[in-house]
Structures are given as structure tokens and as C-alpha cells.
Structure 1
């Protein structure tokens, strides 16, 4: 057994393509998987959503407390027929399963998990419903059987895919995944909380301050824009912010580059969060070179405001490849890395060029790519871990800039 607490909903395809004999194998798989979880009051709670043409939830989080009762239901779980409306099932789970009325303990900060089991491509559009479910704080595992394409599962699952996507070539191979899925579920629940990083805890007192700058791109969709701003604000919770700790600055770029705020403009989390909330969605081209060029005098200025040795970090976020540049992005990026000793993390989303991201960061270890903006939250822990595992020259302060790309917005009117 595993000593973990979570609300786990199994979202199970029962469409006609599965067939009755194979659905029994799905029942066996669920019995074995749930049998390995520590189910009970104050521990793991289980919900079950069945779907084909329409979704239904026979078991909510507050239906059963005893594992025996859940397994009894699973053993006789009804098989239906119809098409594979996975998108509708995910929307249903968000609106009618992961709710307080149905026993979800989200308001108690209990980890929320969905496990989608399907044997084929969704009849309806699934990407938007999956993104909405993930954005609401649900971690999604996607398990495909037989004819399910890997790309379809990636549209559903959380990031990284190697952790959250499972695929078997036939139903009789399902049970081989049972123990693996159980352990992965428990590991994910245990590791789900990102600890607040105290630099004085992570390093010695004379290493505790940093200056971080962010360069980022804004999308034309407001939900994406909000994802970007939320991602930025979440960094504030991971570090000690202040004039004698980590200082943050932010630059935006599109067809040109604009400094939103400098490192010394704000010294509290509340003030920085207020400044991020006030950012306005704009548009233009993709001049990553100009964004990087903007950083050079900003880091020079940051060093002049501090007599102590400063570790300089730059986080670049973009969802597209540079267009119409006067020079390769490698030129200003290399100047920052070599002449100013700036450590650069390059984060690409959607249509970003992974080779270009690596030219910016100068290292595959500091290059990250995700398919959708809501996956940014999933990679935050990896980046913070990499930043805080730094072993090298001792610094007195940290300067951190974030560089946003203000997306290639095109007016359709």
C-alpha cells in the first residue's frame, strides 16, 4: 500500500469498438490498479466516469469510502455502446465530478487526478476540453489501447508525456500496466507539491540573492495570455523576493522590445504581481533578437546597482520561431552568456523552434519545450530544480529577468 492522499477519477471509454469481451479486461485492469491504492476516508478517493455517446458518473468521490464496495462495482461495471466522445467526457468530469458536491477535496488542497482509458480517436474535439481540465488543476494520465495514436494521447495528458502517456497494443496487455500505473500514480501524488525554495536553505547565506529576468510572448487568446501571466506569478512563490534576495525584472517583445519593469522597480511579491496583472496583451512579429538585445544593458544596469557578486538568470518564453531578424538569436544570446555570465533558460511552446531554443540557452539541459501553454506549470518544478542545483562560483545576489514574446498577433478583421 502507498500512504498518499488524492482524488482519482477513472474516465473509461465504453464505446462499441471495445466489445464486451475486451471490456471485461478493462474491468480486470481497474480492479488490479485500484486494488493497489490505499483507498479510504482521509486517503485516496475514487470516482468512475463511463462514456461513449454520453458520459455518466455512477461513482463519485463521495459514493464509496470502502475499497471493497468500489471493487464490487467495478466487477459488474456496465458496458455500453456508441461512439467515442472523449472531449465531452473530459468536460463532464470538470463540471460534474471534480466538484465539492461530488466529494472532491480540491478546496482542501488534495491532489486531483484523472486517468483516461480509451481505445481510439475521439469522435469530438478533445484538445480544448483536456486543456480546460488541466488548467483547473487536474493532472491527467492518458492510457491508449490498440488503435490509439500517441499524438491523440498527448493532446489529453499532462506533461511530460513520458510520465503521463501509456499505450498498449492490445487489451490482453492491459494488466501488465497495472502495477506500473499504480506506482506512477502514487509517485506523482507524492511529488506533486513544489516546495517553496528558500535560497538561504538551498545555499549558504552568501549565495542567497539572485536577479531574474523574464522574456516572454503573449498569445492572441486571453486564456493563453492568462496562462503566461500565471506562470510568471508562480515563480514569485518559489523564491524569496526582495532587494536582499531575488530581484525580478520583465521584458516583452514582438516586432520590438519593451521593458515592463526593471529589477529595482519592485521589491515585494505583491508589487511584482500587481505589475504582472497590469500587463496588456499586444501583438506584432517575432523579433527574438531584439528581445535578447534589450537584455544586455539591463543586466549591465543591474550589476551597477549592486557591489556584490550577482548570479544572473534569464528565462526566455516564446511560442514561435524568430522572423525577420537582423542577426541570429545566437549572437546576442552568446554575448549574454559569455560576456555577462548570464545563465539562460529557453522555454518553447507550440510552434517554437527547438534548435533555436538551444541556440538561445546554449545547453539542452536548459532548453524546454511543451505543446500547450497550460503545460508550463508542469515544467516549472524541473526548471526550479535545475536552477537551485547550481554548483559553481558562489554569488552574493541573484538577478532574474523574464523575457516574454508578445505573440505574432494578426488582426482577422
Structure 2
């Protein structure tokens, strides 16, 4: 009797699940009923020994069924098919057939082969050849690959690497795993997103994925061209080192030409500058030098290849300090973008990472392109503003495949949103300023100017933002209480009264004082209002352990900590120990007190983002993204 109840419940669950799946599929199909966009779709089909002739035929039938759901033709969807086992075979190219009937007929002629499961080699061959112009790929049309396999590959690492290269070449990857021998981790490594991974228990059940696959592909088939009419100051920082060579250097310059041709160029649109680096840095032409595509292309033709070492850190520093200056043509309020193109790891990873942090702190939006097998992906990640800004390609010849992706990546950030507005937001913000002997009075005054500039973005008042200032050196001092300033003008007057101290760097003492005294209700903290602490320091604290402990207590007390490290004496580990996670968003490095002022916009944004609206904490989606601010 117990068995019968279990069987009854199991069948009920299966029926309900099937009904739900059917409802979901029907609903999704209704939403994507019109699927008339363009796409170049290549099916990469496992023909290895574990599949077998019967199951291979079921895979081909599945492809036929999927093809029948699309409009096929030179102005619609094109289909190609590749198979793989121990070796790779291009069965028919995208440009070969232009009707459903001819594709189905071609599928009937494909032979099963058996052998090993060399998925990595298959992905590489597909990337390099199946989406080429000679194979029928149409410029500007979405490249889609559907990988169908019943088992794990011969090499996970090689397969994952080949999939990364495919994605970097602009191929949108879907992975379908069949049966019990699949490796879901590997399928996730292949697909462009985990939502693009589909699994089914058997080849007989494969047909159930037709509608889901169509639903997944339709929305990405014809991406609308991004409106790319905004302003941006874009500098290309190009590796001219010995490993590149003259021929490949010329291919890089051609790539830049192709990218430039995708933008509107002019004083009220996009400006382009180019720097090169090897053992030394050279500013080839500045942002303001040329105002037309023709003149930029002509200037690119005159750039000479030099050879030498790969001193990326120095190049980034020179670019940051000079290439985006007003004298070089940077326009105030216009997005600063740098595209770093290199074929190898730098002479010093740590120096390169530090130089990239300073560039980002100066408001430069960094994209990193790595070419060939000599690149260091970890270093590229350290350079770029986000991992989504890292692109890799197997060779200089394949570099051209990144044109569209780069344009798509840059367009959304070209015209930054208006400057920070904290209207309707409430937060209690305390500045904790290093006033120790290493700072000096001149630099301390520059710190006070940073405070003024950050607060200029705020609305000050009892129902808006409240701001206070503490200083620390050998001792701790409350300079401005949260309750002391009722307006921006009164706060500015109070800042003018703050004096420089000198002494040791007791950061832990400063953090403790801010936590226990400055955020007290007596000092003006409002119950239920978010607490934000902005720490500015130029050196390592006198006691790292005390600093770490004090920062933990501050964060436990609900204080959201941002930290600015100035100069070369600060340590990243200590700054990270002070700041609230994620450190990438809450730790800022400035090369000097002069360059530190460029951080006022992003610090204001982070402060506003932690604020609440009408006493309620902002939802995550309401927070002001750092990348949208100058």
C-alpha cells in the first residue's frame, strides 16, 4: 500500500511538472511569436563514439525541427552545421543553403563518425572558420553557436579556454547536454551565460527543447544598434613592444581605424587620441589634434613601430597624467575612456595594477584587450574597470572580430548621466581626515578642498544629508559635529576653521572616536538613517592591528566605510581592512593630493547611494552606479 501511495504521488508530481513546463513554454512562445530577425546560427554537433548512430540521427532531427521554427534566407536566419569527435568537420557553411528544404536535405547527408570528444579543437575551428565572411557570415549579424554533446570533453581546461575565445570573438554560445555522462560545470564554461545551458536525460527527450531553444535565441537574434551619438574622449594605449612585430602592429592600427569608423567624430561627438608604449611611452597624437575620421586614419598610418620591452605601468601612468589633460583636449564633463591593447604580460604586474587603479581613480574607464597566448588574464582583469571590459583574441588576425563588441561595450558609457544629485536622500556622513606629520599643511588643505567638493553634491539639512568632520594624528579631534551644520554655507564656514595638527598616524584611534562619539545621537546622528564614513589617509597606521580591530567595530556598528589612500606609503591590505566590502568599489587610490580631488564625484555618488529616501533604505537598483559619474 505504501508503494502505491509513493507511485501515485510521483506520477502526480511528474504530471504537474509537465503541465507547468508546457505552460511556461507556451507562454514564452507567445511572447516571442515573431522571430523574424537575422542571425547566423551554427550547430556544433558531437559525433563521438558514446553517441551512436541512432542517437546521432535524433540530434539531426532535432536540428531540423529547430530550423523549421525560423525564417530562413539571406535576409533572415542562416544555418551552418559542424560535427566533431576526434577531429572536426565543417558539414556545410552558413552561406551554402537558403531554404529549409535544402538545409533538411543536407542534414540527411551528414555521416556519423565516432571517436573521441575533442570539444576544444571543435570550438576553436568553429570560431576561426565557421563565422568567417567566406563561410557566409554577414557583418553586423548576430553570431550564435549551439553546442550539442552527450559527454565531457577530453580536456576541461582547453574546452573552457576555447569557449572564452569564441565568446571574445562575439559568438553567442548555447550548450545542450544529453544523458548522464555530461559535465554541467563544463557546459557552464562553454555557454555565454548559465541561462544558455540546457540538459535533457536522453536523446529521445531532446525534442522537448525545441521551443525553449527558440525562445532563448529569438531575443538576441537582431540586437538593435546602440545609439552611439554621445560624447567621449577615447585614448588607445597600444603595445609596440618587441613581441608584437611590425606586421601585427599594423593590424592593431587597422583595428583602431575600423573602430573609429563606427563612431561620430568631432568636437561635439567622439574625440580620439593614440599613445604607444614599449620600453618607453610616446603620445602619438592628442584628443584635440584631429577632428575627422580621415585625418585620424591618416595619422594612424604615420605611427612607427618601435620594439622594446612591455612597460605597461609607466604607459598607464603617463596616459593618466597627460593624455586626458585639458591641454591634450579632454573636455570637462565628457567620459574618459582608455582602450589598452597588448599581446603580453607587463614587466611588473604589481606596478601595472597600481597604475591602473590610479587611472580608474582619475575617472578613466578602462578596457583591456589581450592578444595571443602570451597574455596574463589576471593582469588584464587588474587593468580593466570591470571584468566585462576584458576581451581576448587568439591572434592579431582575429582582432577585427572585436570591433562590434568594443563599440557595444563603449556606447552605453559614452554619455554619462547628469552629475550626482542627492535630492530626497538622507545619510549621516562623517569625514575622518589624516592630519599626521607626513601630510603637511599644504596637502591637508587639499584634503579639506576634497571635502568641500564632495559635499557640494549634497543637499544639507535635517531631512536631507548631514555631514561632519573628524581629524586624527597622535590624537582624535571632532572638528564638525553632524548637528553643527544646517546648510551647505554653514558647513563650508566650519570647514574653513579646521586646523592642521601634525603627529603620528593613529588611524585606529580615529576610527574608534568616529564610531563611538561622532555617530552618537548627542553628536547629531539620526536614528534609522544610514551611517557613512569617508577615511582619507596618506600612510600606514601606527598600529595595523588596532586599525583593523577598530574598523571591524565601526562596520559592526553599521557604518559603511569608504577609504582614500594617497601616495605611495599606503598599503593596499590596510586600506582593504578599513573599507566595507566590495573593496573594488570602496577603496580609492590617488597618486598625490593634487590628483585626489578628481575623486569628489565618485565619493559623492557612493555616499548618496548609501542614503535612504524618506527614511527607507534605497533598493539596490536605485543606487547610483559609480561608472555613471565623473
TM-score normalized by the length of structure 1: 0.69
Seen in structure 2, the aligned counterparts of structure 1 residues 148 and 383 have a Cα distance that, compared at 3 Å, is same
**Given the alignment, which residue of 603, 613, 620 partners 1:380?**
603
In structure 1, the partner of 2:560 is 345
Contact map agreement 2:533 2:560 (CA 8 A) in 1: yes
Question: Hey, what's the Cα distance between the residues in 1 that align with 2:575 and 2:306?
Answer: 44
Deviation at 1:9, TM superposition (A): 1.8
Deviation at 1:40, TM superposition (A): 2.6
What per-residue deviation string (whole Å, max 9, x for no partner) do you get for residues 110-148 of structure 1?
Answer: 333332323345558667866776666544444344434
Deviation at 1:290, TM superposition (A): 5.9
Contact map agreement 2:511 2:550 (CA 8 A) in 1: no
Contact map agreement 1:141 1:165 (CA 8 A) in 2: yes
Seen in structure 2, the aligned counterparts of structure 1 residues 155 and 192 have a Cα distance that, compared at 3 Å, is farther
Seen in structure 2, the aligned counterparts of structure 1 residues 44 and 29 have a Cα distance that, compared at 3 Å, is same
Tell me the C-alpha RMSD between the 2 structures.
4.5
In structure 2, the partner of 1:404 is none
Alignment of 1:311 with 2:513, yes or no, is no
Seen in structure 2, the aligned counterparts of structure 1 residues 345 and 172 have a Cα distance that, compared at 3 Å, is farther
Seen in structure 2, the aligned counterparts of structure 1 residues 354 and 73 have a Cα distance that, compared at 3 Å, is closer
Alignment of 1:191 with 2:416, yes or no, is yes
In structure 1, the partner of 2:587 is 370
Alignment of 1:8 with 2:223, yes or no, is no
Question: Hey, what's the Cα distance between the residues in 1 that align with 2:417 and 2:585?
Answer: 19
Seen in structure 2, the aligned counterparts of structure 1 residues 254 and 47 have a Cα distance that, compared at 3 Å, is same
Seen in structure 2, the aligned counterparts of structure 1 residues 330 and 385 have a Cα distance that, compared at 3 Å, is closer
Deviation at 1:248, TM superposition (A): 1.0
**Given the alignment, which residue of 293, 296, 321 partners 1:70?**
296
In structure 2, the partner of 1:82 is 308
Structure 2 gap ranges (5+): 1-226, 566-571, 591-595, 619-630
Question: What secondary structure is seen at the aligned counterpart in 2 of 1:45?
Answer: strand
Seen in structure 2, the aligned counterparts of structure 1 residues 324 and 44 have a Cα distance that, compared at 3 Å, is closer
After TM superposition, list the pairs within 5 Å mapping 1:183-262 onto structure 2.
183-191=408-416, 193-199=418-424, 210-217=427-434, 220=438, 229=448, 231-242=450-461, 245-253=464-472, 256-262=475-481
What per-residue deviation string (whole Å, max 9, x for no partner) do you get for residues 274-305 of structure 1?
Answer: 655745374535553662354334443447x6
In structure 2, the partner of 1:269 is 488
Deviation at 1:263, TM superposition (A): 1.9
Aligned length: 370
Seen in structure 2, the aligned counterparts of structure 1 residues 48 and 266 have a Cα distance that, compared at 3 Å, is same
What per-residue deviation string (whole Å, max 9, x for no partner) do you get for residues 75-97 of structure 1?
Answer: 67543323334455456546764
TM-score normalized by the length of structure 2: 0.48
Structure index of larger Rg: 2
Alignment of 1:25 with 2:251, yes or no, is yes
Deviation at 1:65, TM superposition (A): 2.2
After TM superposition, list the pairs within 5 Å mapping 1:402-413 onto structure 2.
none
Question: Hey, what's the Cα distance between the residues in 1 that align with 2:400 and 2:252?
Answer: 9
Question: Hey, what's the Cα distance between the residues in 2 that align with 1:31 and 1:259?
Answer: 56
- Of 185-194 and 349-358, deviating more is 349-358
Deviation at 1:194, TM superposition (A): 3.3
Question: Hey, what's the Cα distance between the residues in 2 that align with 1:290 and 1:172?
Answer: 56
In structure 2, the partner of 1:49 is 275
Seen in structure 2, the aligned counterparts of structure 1 residues 192 and 14 have a Cα distance that, compared at 3 Å, is farther
Seen in structure 2, the aligned counterparts of structure 1 residues 178 and 226 have a Cα distance that, compared at 3 Å, is farther
Seen in structure 2, the aligned counterparts of structure 1 residues 226 and 163 have a Cα distance that, compared at 3 Å, is farther
Seen in structure 2, the aligned counterparts of structure 1 residues 53 and 312 have a Cα distance that, compared at 3 Å, is closer
Question: What secondary structure is seen at the aligned counterpart in 2 of 1:300?
Answer: coil
Q: Whose relative contact order is higher, 1 or 2, with alpha carbons under 8 Å and at least 6 apart?
A: 1
Structure 1 gap ranges (5+): 200-207, 338-343, 359-363, 396-413
In structure 2, the partner of 1:116 is 340
- Of 168-177 and 217-226, deviating more is 217-226
**Given the alignment, which residue of 11, 26, 37 partners 2:263?**
37
Contact map agreement 2:427 2:611 (CA 8 A) in 1: no
Contact map agreement 2:370 2:392 (CA 8 A) in 1: yes
Contact map agreement 2:233 2:337 (CA 8 A) in 1: yes
Seen in structure 2, the aligned counterparts of structure 1 residues 164 and 259 have a Cα distance that, compared at 3 Å, is farther
Deviation at 1:69, TM superposition (A): 3.6
Seen in structure 2, the aligned counterparts of structure 1 residues 172 and 269 have a Cα distance that, compared at 3 Å, is farther
In structure 1, the partner of 2:211 is none
Question: Hey, what's the Cα distance between the residues in 2 that align with 1:335 and 1:86?
Answer: 40
Moved over 6 A (4+): 222-227, 318-322
